[in-house]
Structure 1
Amino acid sequence: MQSTAKKKILVFIDWYLPGYKAGGPVRSMANMTGHLSGEFDFYIVTRNNEYGETAPYTDTIADSWNDLMPGVKVWYCSEGKASLTVWKHLIKTTSSDVVYINGVYSPKFSLLPLIAARLRRFKHVIVAPRGMLAGSAINVKKGKKQLFLKAAQWLRLYKNVQWHVTNQAEAEQVRQQIDPQAQTTIANNLPRKVTTPFTPVVKAEGTVRLCLPARVAPEKNTLYAIQCLKDLPGSIQVELDLYGQIYNQAYWQECLAEIELLPANITVKHKGFIQPEEIPATIKEYHALFLPTRGENFGHVILESFMAGRPVLISDQTPWRSLKEKKAGWDLPLEEIQQFSAVINELATMNQSTFDQWCQGAWQMGQESANDVALLDQYRKLFGVKLVF
């Protein structure tokens, strides 16, 4: 059991609810508050606009605390209002016990809060890298990021900071990129609080319906996913539906060119964007999730698929490993594209009975993750709550 004192957590994050387009970090924070807002008071500081947009939200009060739900207040910062002075003021007036910073590269919502906490001699600062120290993430705008990381090391910017990492690999990334002696605490990302009952789906031999609910982007390997389909046998029918934002039109044109080359028995469609709360029900309409991603710190949509009772076909660049042993899916090396094609063919030729076993395996994995009491205790320890058993 945790102590009865309700601590205050001041969170800085670039985007938060009602936004959703920033993906994983928003979902991670929403899940955290969903599970723990009864035990902690969360004060979340974020932008007053959606990711990729400049127009402010229409249903928020800017530059003031908004009551989002019991235990969660949100400060929606107007464009141009973020400053050291404001952040120092919020740290002081909230009387928070913890300053929790999401990410490392954002000047306004990662760097400024860290400096503000330093100037106020704040002791308990937690930084969550959110996968931003992985090699695949650093390689995007590589020069700027490497320069920043070297400066952070030289200035000892993260001295005495506690790092919230989701697995041992991320802890190693922090020690490699920031400080060999960095203090890290492992607490994997929390799932959605609500679980869903197992729902079967009809599976005819020779056909398979796949979905890829992620933005159309090189990081998610959309083009690779399409290329996995081109050499499948003509005896099977395969549908792949893409759900996600298209930010890079040049990349999407490459995808369209590959789609044009696919044989008649393979269909790929872009179905637009769906709201996060629609993802579980959408996944249930398909036979499997297909996400040959180049790298995920967690992969919320993968867990959503497990919770929906659908197996996944993913790369080995996520924390979800050894899935075949649990009959929950497949995690394959990207260097072996023919292995992805082989599994798609295997899925297509499965009969209902065999397929149901894989769905049950996925659902069981989702249930275990969604009801992990020990994981909640890891968060309590992260925030400095002494547990009494």
Structure 2
Amino acid sequence: MTLNPLAVKSLKTSTDRPQVCHVIDSINENTGGTAFLVARLASIVANQEITSHLFTLDYQQLGSQIATENVKIHSYPASFLARRMQGFAPKANHALECLASTELDLIHNHGLWLFPNIYARQAALNNRLPLVVSPHGMLESWSLKHSRMKKWLAWLVYEQKNLMSATVFHVTSAEEAMSVRRLGFQQPIALIPTGVDLADFNEQPKKEVLTQLFPQLSDQKWLLFLSRLHSKKGIDNLLQVWQKLESQFSDWHLILAGPDLTGYQAKLELLVEQLNLSQRVTFTGMLSGKAKISALCNADLFVLPTHSENFGIAIAESLAYGVPVITTKGTPWQDLERYECGWWIEDNQQALLMALVEAMKMPASERQVMGLRGKNLVETKYSWNAIAENMASVYHWILSGGEPPSCVQFYGY
């Protein structure tokens, strides 16, 4: 089956490398996992005979922008209006239009609900360029119900049009592909999971990297949560369960690591106080560099009791460092059961409690064996080189036609 969804602009010459622009609202380091994933994807795809651009706004209050290699960065300061109005930035919009008209062959939009996502669609349609859309979990049922009225209005005004304009959707799991189909979209879907940087076990920071910052973590086993502090992540459930278990497992300490973009940490800190857990829970804020690696490679168990994830990069990162994982069926990680490297549980407190008890009672040697199986899983299925090859093959197919890559699914098949 070939692809001809619309008459798209051909490459400038047959010898040119395709020029692909990734559009994302922010790659500032404190905005969370998607920023890192998109920056890494843009960089790694550039090794596949692709000229890689990245268009973004710079929210300086959210930390430095993530460094990329072999990528042409088009970054514009996020003004007061942009910060208050979902990335509203007319000058940046004009710049993307100019870039699309002079250099680009394809636009790859990441995320929904923000003005840069509108700008990506407009630039693609105005310049007859194909548009790839990666929802990054924002079409999952839980996400659509969160801030439901605002999203319903945005859907009517612009988001449905954005998605209808997609040439191809890119999703990271079969569950996310189903979410796209449930909303009635019939375009081809490229199912390509997120890549993971494999751990370098020659350079592993010791526990002291974190214990010097947080002395209360010394001489404790680490139960690690590492993700955004957000209501979607089920941290309140985790704290309620931890309150029931902490006296039984006095040699364990719960670490809550991740950025707080919405003020949710204050609510969690109040809950910690109400549950009398102040001595058994540590908020580290966002971890990066050696501190993050120290947390991952020295954790005894990783937990993400999330209500919804399209992939869950923190799960893959933990497995890459040989840490067994507990997560919910709100994630697409049934491989935890299939490869016997963790627990894939129902999204409720009782299931979480049972999994934690089993995991923490388990001898350390058995958890280490599970972790090794997880590391092998990541090396086999989620290396960035394989992900980059698949994504590049999708770009080339969209631009040049021919037989579709095996990762592409069609409506009705």
TM-score by length of structure 2 reads 0.78
User: Does residue 131 of structure 1 match 2:129?
Assistant: no
1:41 partner amino acid: T
Question: C-alpha distance in 2, partners of 1:219/1:307?
Answer: 24
Structure 1 residue 314: Cα displacement: 1.0
1:332 partner amino acid: I
1:346 partner amino acid: E
- 1:346-376 deviation per Cα after TM superposition (whole angstroms, max 9, x unaligned): 2222223322211212222222234376533
User: Does residue 368 of structure 1 match 2:380?
Assistant: yes
Q: Is the Cα–Cα contact under 8 Å of residues 211 and 240 in structure 1 kept in the other structure?
A: yes
**Paired residue for 2:341, among 328, 331, 341?**
328
Q: Is the Cα–Cα contact under 8 Å of residues 42 and 71 in structure 1 kept in the other structure?
A: yes
SS of the aligned residue for 1:105 comes to coil
2:193 partner amino acid: N
Structure 1 pair 168–151 and aligned structure 2 pair: CA distance change class (3 A): farther
Q: Is the Cα–Cα contact under 8 Å of residues 169 and 188 in structure 2 kept in the other structure?
A: yes
Question: C-alpha distance in 2, partners of 1:32/1:217?
Answer: 24
Question: C-alpha distance in 2, partners of 1:26/1:250?
Answer: 20
Map of 1:85 onto structure 2: 94
Structure 1 pair 261–245 and aligned structure 2 pair: CA distance change class (3 A): same
Map of 1:244 onto structure 2: 258
Task: Considering Cα pairs closer than 8 Å and 6+ residues apart, tell me whether 1 or 2 has the greater RCO.
Answer: 2
Structure 1 residue 288: Cα displacement: 1.0
1:186 partner amino acid: L
Q: List gaps (5 residues or longer) in structure 1.
A: 61-67
Map of 1:211 onto structure 2: 224
Map of 1:111 onto structure 2: 118
User: Does residue 120 of structure 1 match 2:119?
Assistant: no
Structure 1 residue 126: Cα displacement: 0.9
**Paired residue for 2:191, among 173, 186, 196?**
186
Structure 1 residue 273: Cα displacement: 2.2
- 1:72-105 deviation per Cα after TM superposition (whole angstroms, max 9, x unaligned): 11011133453543221111222x2211111221
- 1:189-244 deviation per Cα after TM superposition (whole angstroms, max 9, x unaligned): 1222x532398x99xxxx74201112222111211111111222744323101112
| Higher helix proportion | 2
Q: List gaps (5 residues or longer) in structure 2.
A: 1-13, 80-88, 208-219, 406-413
- Per mean C-alpha deviation after superposition, the further-off stretch among 251-260 and 290-299 is 251-260
User: Does residue 42 of structure 1 match 2:52?
Assistant: yes
Question: C-alpha distance in 2, partners of 1:157/1:356?
Answer: 44
Question: C-alpha distance in 1, partners of 2:392/2:281?
Answer: 44
Question: C-alpha distance in 2, partners of 1:148/1:213?
Answer: 30
Map of 1:31 onto structure 2: 40
Structure 1 residue 313: Cα displacement: 1.0
Structure 1 residue 176: Cα displacement: 2.8
Identity %: 19
- Per mean C-alpha deviation after superposition, the further-off stretch among 299-308 and 313-322 is 313-322
Map of 2:270 onto structure 1: 256
- 1:135-184 deviation per Cα after TM superposition (whole angstroms, max 9, x unaligned): 1211222112123324558758623521111122222222333x432222
Map of 2:214 onto structure 1: none
User: Does residue 340 of structure 1 match 2:352?
Assistant: yes
User: Does residue 99 of structure 1 match 2:112?
Assistant: no
Structure 1 residue 112: Cα displacement: 1.7
Structure 1 residue 332: Cα displacement: 0.9
Superposition RMSD in Å: 3.3
Question: C-alpha distance in 1, partners of 2:158/2:248?
Answer: 56
Q: Is the Cα–Cα contact under 8 Å of residues 30 and 286 in structure 2 kept in the other structure?
A: no
